[in-house]
Amino acid sequence: MFRTLLIANRGEIACRVIRTARKMGIATVGVYSDADSGAAHVAMADKAVRLGPPPARESYLRADLILGAAKETGADAIHPGYGFLSENAEFAESCAAAGVVFVGPPPDAIRAMGLKDRAKALMAKAGVAVVPGYLGDDQSLGTLTAEAEKIGYPVLIKAVAGGGGKGMRKVDGAQDFAAALESAQREAKSSFGDDRVLIEKYVTRPRHIEVQVFADNHGGAVHLFERDCSLQRRHQKVIEEAPAPGMPPKMRAAMGEAAVKAAKAVGYSGAGTVEFIADASEGLKADRFWFMEMNTRLQVEHPVTEAITGFDLVEWQLRVAWGEELPAKQKDIAIHGHAVEARLYAEDPANGFLPSIGTLERLSLPDDLRVDSGVREGDTVTPFYDPMIAKVIAHDATREGAARKLAGALARAKIAGLRTNNAFLIRALGSQDFLAGEIDTGFIDRHLKDLVPPHAPDDAILSAAARFVADDRPQTDDPWDARDGFRVNGASAQTVRFTAGAGRLGGAVPPGIEVLRLRNGDIAAMRAGETFVLHPYDPFESAEGAGVAADRIATPMPGKIIQILVKPGERVKKGQPLAVLEAMKMEHTLSAPADSTVESVDVAAGDQVNDGTVVVRFAKEAAA
């Protein structure tokens, strides 16, 4: 077996690979950018090597630096994780040329499946049904527009390279096509270095179901059943489960057979995922699913497959890469119970799931379930990488049991310092439609009002925060520091005011609530998996800030200005796009909060900006 394994990745997947390597007696090497110098995966690895500055293109995407680190540390194998260089055929070839084993499929298989258009053409030739669409080389606006009209709206624009929802746009009508295409191409170019796209028919009630496949270098190929990844926002998965709810045995067999056929068609080796789209408008049926793409790597959601099969997929990867046969035959692989995984992100569901950056001043996750995480309390979520905090996985005899177990565990989590989707996940897992298996990729949009209700603190939260503020004041002999609320010519004050309301003093903090003062002076009150951030009321600050939201648009996080869409003097409508910001590997559109007139544009396309940078100012009369 390998002596030393270098993990060419970061975060939770690097930690995950290190755990299995350690179990197998393999020494590990971590790599890191300057932003990750104190990261968990660096601390876990036996050795660690600096790659470069925070931007991925200057660190984790530098194949030469990674191979240099392998040579420096004597690593005889490299595990790429997922993302970054995991599906880069040239990197796999460079590893071989350097005498280092790439823990992944052969370069030719990566190339065959790495571009979605070529993969679909190959699968159609192999007899695997594919989604109707346009896969041609002509990428001109005229041709793509005409092909979209032929397919019929709604259509889906997808980058031919990469995944993770980047370079993907749903288009409902011809009037939106050109702008959506430009945005998708720009995001694809930024993420994958390739701006080519394909167009496919958008299935109106789609279920995203994928099959885990594995192949060795001795002709063996198996599947480890399916995962349902239909709960998505912005085309990125949020909750995954295995097996797929409501899957008929005949369809499971057909889908597994198609996935193995796809792997064999490209001479596959190692772990891979064949992704299908299923039409759930009349329930799942064996003749109503189509090949979408194949990810030639381990998937983020692989833990649910491990949970229902009992196999360690990273161990399988390492054994196959070493030259061993698959650890199990198809007849030996069975489904045991049900598993559900929730992706806990640093993001704000109430603000379009916009990523959140900052320090995890409080991070307490359940210790009775599997938690895959690459961050610890005190770590910082930066704008340079994916904002995932952890994956939390529950396994039970039944689907409902697994979902309720996971929701209960998340309700015990305590997180403060940045915004997260934890409460959103709890509500999604407890939704009656979810528990009934009534899911598809439109689930979140349909239930958004229930999943993201108004986030207002109630009296218990306000009073808990008020008691904390009162008790947190320094105790001295100075009468001005007394906590009795004394007032001249008036009754004693019994409340503490916050910008969100007032909390009454008296009594102990209600049970189940934990209160913490954040570094910026705000108060975080945590209850049942939800965090409320309260800002102590300051009348002077309030007066100074009046009208700020109405007279300007500022960046919500650091990033790069990609486009400016308005100019001074232009009249804009509420919701009209003003600028596009690229941050955390995604594009974010900044829109007008109201009908206004643009007074000035304070940045230019290409500018690197910090959070809070004013992008557009509006005329004063429009803000009144």
- CA 522 to CA 520: how far, in whole Å? 6
- CA 435 to CA 396: how far, in whole Å? 14
- CA 482 to CA 224: how far, in whole Å? 66
Strand, coil or helix: 577: strand
Tokens standing for 31? 């790599």
Residue 11: CB partners within 8 Å, gap ≥ 6? 39, 41, 374, 375, 385, 386, 388
Residue 589: CB partners within 8 Å, gap ≥ 6? 577, 579, 580, 581
User: Please, are residues 384 and 320 in contact by the beta-carbon 8 Å criterion?
Assistant: no
E strand residue ranges, 505-568: 513-517, 523-527, 530-534, 552-554, 559-564
Per-residue H/E/C for 311-353: CCHHHHHHHHHHCCCCCCCHHHCCCCCEEEEEEEECEEHHHCC
Q: Which of 10, 227, 297, 467 is catalytic?
A: 297
297 is a catalytic site residue: yes
User: Please, are residues 378 and 397 in contact by the beta-carbon 8 Å criterion?
Assistant: no
- CA 217 to CA 106: how far, in whole Å? 10
- CA 444 to CA 353: how far, in whole Å? 12
Task: Check residue 446 and give left, alpha or beta (phi > 0: left; psi -120 to 50: alpha).
Answer: alpha
Question: Which amino acid type is present at position 597?
Answer: T
Backbone angles phi, psi at 287, to 5 degrees: -105, 15
Backbone angles phi, psi at 18, to 5 degrees: -60, -40
Residue 551 DSSP one-character state: H
Sign for the pseudo-dihedral over CA of 39, 41, 42, 44? positive
Tokens standing for 567? 């100019």
How many other C-beta atoms can be found within 10 angstroms of the C-beta atom of residue 620? 12
Tokens standing for 501? 């309301």
Return the active site residues. 297
